[in-house]
Structure 1
């Protein structure tokens, strides 16, 4: 038996893929990842982002993972992993698609998300 190991971004991608079209479950996995990530020291956090998640066949979520990895690395004063550069959307995506959520995301989405076409408000990433 091994001890606790925090979830990596690649493992988060596996969970998101298994969740199918259940976005509520997907967001719960994102929240769990963010909670675990937050409690790790910077050197461990960096390692949690290094392995590229496999493409899951849902371009929105594939790009979301790249934006999330870069965003978290930037918060630690580091560049995002190289694999992040390959992922971006041709059309904007608003994961929370209400009038208020769209307005908030347009104004406040973190740069790593905005530049990839993913518009999510910062508080949606502070679920942990």
Structure 2
């Protein structure tokens, strides 16, 4: 039996896990786990999961996605984005799910926090958990 108490994953933890992941399928499973843990926290505790600035995941696209995710989740809870997320954006659009149908859906429906950073993802992709 471990002496460590359960601690939900933070966005900073998630970045480290993404850095060590070897493929995108694993990265999306990690994001799904983070989203599930985030949802399990009470609204008052969720903000602390987004506060600490994550180190680079080793891929600018995923770093920007984390900033968009933090802003998106904070906004859903009625809070502003963490300050570390503000300057992160892509110069070239990224479609993490790059099929013709997924691209159209993402262009039309991407949440504002993602769209303004150049990450085009449909909202249902964020409901994976």
Partner of 2:91: 90
SS in 1 for 2:26: helix
Aligned to 2:128: 127
1:37-48 alignment runs, 5 A limit? 37-48=38-49
The CA deviation at 1:57 is: 2.3
1:81-106: CA deviations, max 9, x gaps? Answer: 00000200001000000000000000
Separation in 1, partners of 2:77, 2:46 = 9
Choose from 5, 10, 13 the match for 1:11: 13
Q: Structure 1 unaligned runs (5+)?
A: none
Q: CA RMSD in A?
A: 0.7
Structure 2 gaps of 5+ residues are: none
How far apart, CA to CA, are the structure 1 residues paired with 2:54 and 2:93? 21
Work out the CA distance in 2 between the residues paired with 1:107 and 1:56. Answer: 28
How much does 1:3 deviate? 1.5
Normalised TM-score (structure 1): 0.97
Aligned length: 127
